[in-house]
């Protein structure tokens, strides 16, 4: 039996077997399985929850099917603008970056903001400059753009509309939560945002309390869905508050928080783990890329609503 917990997501949305290309689903499932295995090995060696969630998100940022790092969706101007956040439940320290275009792994820059600056959020070119000063190599933004995302933007422009990435292609925002062997919690999220969004738009993933939250006294949460509505509901912190103040179990707290988003017209999901090691992976969409480490230590991955759950 494991004494640690790990879960990841790759976006919630209109994921149905008849809409997904089989190769796309296979690649996404494989990436989730591989990142879970790497995170499991790190935790099994005594690694921290913070290291585990960063490691998993870095892995998924490098996985083209997902909307983070390479494969991020494009703004109305045809650029990649990414947001990411990480939070340490042991200290409630947090760091995030937003509207960055030249970082292969925004989540690692977010951790640098947390650990090497007096701030919790840096935005745009100054955030990239800070990362460079900390030894992070900048990349050509064009290296993060894929043909599939360019085609997706053209479809969105033709309608015209701003759309959730996972309602157009399979993979979306990525995130991870973990409880390590010492009982500490952590959460991390990373995203390219919404297709055809206005330049400068910031979503929930990079905002502490909206899409990302961790506190050893309650839970760790990473959300995925309509960012503006997650912000208006302070979604991730709402899960925490429903546990601490209303005494709800984790699954019920997540469902109640998602209901608040749904009441405003938004959809989505999350992965969450609480201080006692309970895990929840709910969503209000047809599917959500998700994975977790079960009691056997074997990575388990699901996509559709009728897939096996944890």
Question: Catalytic residues, which ones?
Answer: 173
Query: Which among 202, 208, 266 has a CA at the least distance from the CA of 237?
Result: 208
CA distances from 214 to 92, 93, 107, 141, 179 (A): 7, 9, 15, 31, 10
Q: Helix %, strand %, coil % for the chain, to 5?
A: 35, 25, 40
Q: What is the DSSP letter of 131?
A: H
Q: What is the DSSP string of 139-204?
A: --GGGG--HHHHHHHHHHHHTT--EEGGGTSS---EEEEEE-TTS-EEEEEEE--EETPPTT---S
Q: What is the DSSP letter of 247?
A: -
Asked if residues 251 and 282 have their Cβ atoms less than 8 Å apart, the reply is yes
Asked if residues 225 and 200 have their Cβ atoms less than 8 Å apart, the reply is no
User: What is the enclosing helix (H) or strand (E) of 241?
Assistant: helix 235-244
Asked if residues 52 and 176 have their Cβ atoms less than 8 Å apart, the reply is yes
H helical segments located in 10-138 = 22-44, 49-61, 106-116, 124-133
Q: How far apart are the first and last CA of the chain?
A: 15
Asked if residues 290 and 301 have their Cβ atoms less than 8 Å apart, the reply is yes
């Amino acid at each position: 039996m494991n004494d640690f917990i790990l879960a990841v997501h790759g976006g919630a949305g209109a994921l149905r077997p008849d809409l997904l290309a089989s190769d796309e689903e296979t690649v996404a499932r494989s990436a989730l399985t591989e990142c879970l295995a790497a995170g499991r090995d790190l935790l099994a060696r005594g690694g921290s929850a913070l290291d585990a969630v960063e490691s998993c998100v870095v892995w998924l940022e490098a996985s083209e099917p997902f909307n983070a790092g390479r494969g991020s969706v494009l703004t109305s101007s045809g650029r990649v603008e990414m947001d990411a956040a990480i939070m340490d439940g042991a200290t409630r320290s947090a760091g995030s970056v937003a509207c960055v275009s030249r970082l292969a792994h925004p989540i690692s820059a977010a951790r640098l903001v947390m650990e090497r600056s007096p701030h919790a959020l840096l935005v745009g070119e100054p955030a990239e400059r800070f990362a460079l000063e900390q030894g992070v190599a900048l990349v050509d933004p064009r290296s993060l753009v894929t043909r599939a995302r360019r085609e997706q933007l053209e479809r969105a422009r033709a309608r015209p509309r701003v759309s959730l990435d996972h309602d157009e292609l399979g993979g979306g925002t990525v995130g991870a939560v973990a409880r390590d062997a010492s009982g500490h919690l952590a959460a991390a999220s990373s995203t390219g945002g919404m297709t055809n969004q206005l330049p400068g738009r910031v979503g929930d993933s990079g905002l502490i309390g909206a899409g990302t939250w961790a506190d050893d006294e309650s839970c760790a949460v990473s959300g995925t869905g309509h960012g503006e509505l997650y912000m208006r509901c302070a979604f991730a912190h709402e899960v925490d508050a429903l546990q601490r103040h209303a005494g709800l179990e984790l699954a019920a707290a997540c469902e109640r928080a998602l209901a608040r988003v749904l009441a405003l017209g938004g959809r989505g999901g999350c992965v969450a783990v609480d201080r006692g090691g309970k895990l929840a992976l709910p969503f209000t969409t047809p599917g959500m890329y998700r994975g977790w480490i079960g009691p056997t230590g074997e990575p388990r991955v699901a996509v559709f609503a009728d897939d096996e759950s944890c």
